[in-house]
Structure 1
């Protein structure tokens, strides 16, 4: 049996509101942390770059007010940035539920990183892990190496997806190619377990040949 691969927040570099619900209100920040905990590189430049400038200069609540106004119009970047704030509890009371709802809205609005963030957030909650598959698969389709890694581990375990070593190898190889060093060990282990049929299917997945 393969060792159970761990998927920690540090390793993954981390990283539900109803759709009709408005973004949650900014709370007085007794829990507020430094804006430096989310560097500007982790934010998306919105239509109004003033918000990012305010954020990086420590005017967190002013930035959040701008994003909340933009989020009401369905702005994907603003929704994503609000989700980042709620996930880490910067300027607002931390809430993974609120963050998940906002990431989901951002993903539906077309934000390129929202599926990955949402999938990882749901995966780390055992009670919502089954929900993570849909968003991780979308993120992997967008070349997220972290999503590939988690999906590879899930395929090895047969966790909420059928156990399939050919698919596991595909995902884990993508993760390794993308620099996820933690994917090397499970990849080496499954290659020792793969049957000739598994290896043929793995080649077919890479080449696009019909699966048998």
Structure 2
């Protein structure tokens, strides 16, 4: 038995794949759409084998955050998501120094003014990283918690299901990290720890890169 269901997700995507032994959720649509599809999972699915988050657009990620923070969310075995933590390292619970924090917030605000910030879930990407961290979910376990890209993992399995990784590729991720490092050096920002401000600034800055060349700089695990 293989059942693929397209849930109503506003302008975004929310797809569940169910077999006799697996249940996989791909994206979660908008926050508003969550109320429309949550009853098809909460109370009806005992375990979610994996949640796959393709990218941080609001209409893909917000429903996932609502699900994972719901008090009756089923157990989740693993998550696939390329966020700042997967690219740069684990979130720190230490306090960042005030001067660096101010610089990162200024960079974040500047990036948000470059283009239309509504479609991109900058803070939501950071929020999802914190939810994954706080709840102890396994993320990108097929690559030991690091960023998932085509050359490193062209295909992965979730039970009997096989998924092909279309993108990103390594060159795009390396270029993205290079551009981000140059931006930090330009602003004389040398953070010693990875904080929420660091994550927010990076994800907001990423949107400006996506607008210039959206096909090359996605930090998605399943989209070009």
Same fold, TM-score > 0.5, yes or no? no
Q: TM-score, normalised by structure 2?
A: 0.26
Higher helix share: 1
Structure with the bigger percentage of strand: 2
Q: What TM-score results when the alignment is normalised by the length of structure 1?
A: 0.27
Which protein has the larger Cα radius of gyration, Structure 1 or Structure 2? 1
